[in-house]
Amino acid sequence: MLQAKGRVTAAELAEELEISVKTARRDLEALAMAGIPVYSQAGKGGGWSLVGGARTDLSGLTAAEARTLFLLAGPSSHVTPEAKTALRKLVQALPETFRAEARAAAAAIKLDPARWGTTSWAPPAHLDVLQQAVIDGVQVRLGYIDRTRSETQRTVHPLGLVEKGTVWYLIAGTEAGMRTFRLGRVRSVTLTDDPVERPADFDLEATWQSVVSTIEELRTSFRARVLIPAVAVPGLRGQFGTGVTVTGDPGADGRVEVEIGANSAEAIAQQLAGWGRYLEVISPDEVRHELGRIGRQLVDLHGDH
C-alpha cells in the first residue's frame, strides 16, 4: 500500500486491512525495524511513506522482469480466475512507473489452443486436484482407464504435470517405476495423507524429454522411403512431423528421396493415399501393397460403371 499510494496514515491502513489503528501503527514501526525504508511525518498531510518516494520495489522485480512476467502470465489470466486475481495484486505491488507497461504486457498476448475448425477445449476435470497433490507432495488414488478400456484403481506418487498441445499428462512414481498418465483417462482422484516419495535426482524437464523420445521412437518405428517433389516436403512434414527425413538431393526431375515414419504400414499408406501420382513409394512393399488396396477400393466405389 505504501508503494501503491505513496503515503498512508495509520488510520487509512487500519480501515483498508480491517485492523485497529494501534495494530497498523505497530506494524508500520515493525517494517522500519526490519530494515524497510519507511518513515513517518507528523501533522496535517502527514503519514507514512517509503524513502525515495516509493522507489523501493517490494516485489523485487526490475522493469524488464515485470514486463516478461506479465507477458507470460497474461494469457493464463484469460483462463484461470485465480491468475486474474494474482495479476491484479501483483500490479499493485509494483512501482507506479512499472504498472502501465505491466498491464499492457498482460493484455498483449492471447493464446487460442483450438485448431482451425475445432472449438476451444476445457481443462481436464481433475487437473486442479492433481496440481494440488503435486504441490502438497501427497500420494493419490487414481481411477484410470487403461488401453484396454478397463478401469483400474492405483495409488501413485504425483511428481509433475505436463501440457503438450491440448493434452495434459501426469508424471508419477508407481510400484512398477516411473509412469505417464493421460489426464483425459483419469476418472477419479482421491487424495491420501501419505507423502510422496520423490527421487532425489528427479527433474521434470529431463523426465518429460525422455518420455517424448520414447513415444516418438514408438510412433515412427515403421519406416518407408518415398520420392516426392522437393517443394512438397513441407506438406509431408505437416502430416508426419519430425518423422520426415530428407535423405538425398533433388534429382533431375526435381524429386527428392524422403524417409518417413509411423507406427505401421497401414498408417503410412492411409496418410499418403491423398497424394495420388504426386508421390511414389519406393519401399517397403507392405506400404505399396496397402496403397494399391486402398486404390482398388476407391475405384470399386467411385469409378465409372
Which pLDDT belongs to residue 54? 41
CA distances (Å), 288 to each of 3, 5, 284, 293, in order? 71, 74, 7, 9
Which pLDDT belongs to residue 79? 61
pLDDT of residue 57 exceeding 80, the answer is no
Is 35 strand, coil or helix? Answer: coil
pLDDT in tens, 71-98: 887 776 666 777 777 777 788 777 776 7
pLDDT in tens, 113-123: 777 888 877 78
pLDDT of residue 220 exceeding 70, the answer is yes
Q: Please state which CATH number belongs to domain 127-214.
A: 2.30.30.520
Cell of 48: 507514512
Show Cβ contacts of residue 221 under 8 Å, excluding neighbours closer than 6 positions: 261, 263
Which pLDDT belongs to residue 77? 63
Q: Please state which CATH number belongs to domain 2-54.
A: 1.10.10.10
Lowest-confidence segment of 107-111, 200-204, 292-296 by average pLDDT: 107-111
Q: What mean pLDDT do residues 97-122 have? A: 80
**What's the half-sphere exposure (Cβ side, CA atoms, 13 Å) at 227?**
9
pLDDT in tens, 222-272: 999 999 999 999 999 998 988 899 998 898 999 999 999 999 999 999 999
Query: Over the chain, what is the mean pLDDT?
Result: 86
| 90 compared with 209, residue with greater pLDDT | 209
Domain ranges of the chain: 2-54, 63-106, 127-214, 220-302
Which phi and psi (to 5°) does residue 7 adopt?
-150, 135
Domain spanning 220-302, CATH architecture:
2-Layer Sandwich (3.30)
Which pLDDT belongs to residue 302? 87
Which pLDDT belongs to residue 56? 44
Show Cβ contacts of residue 214 under 8 Å, excluding neighbours closer than 6 positions: none
pLDDT in tens, 18-51: 899 999 989 888 888 877 778 888 777 778 887 7
pLDDT of residue 210 exceeding 50, the answer is yes
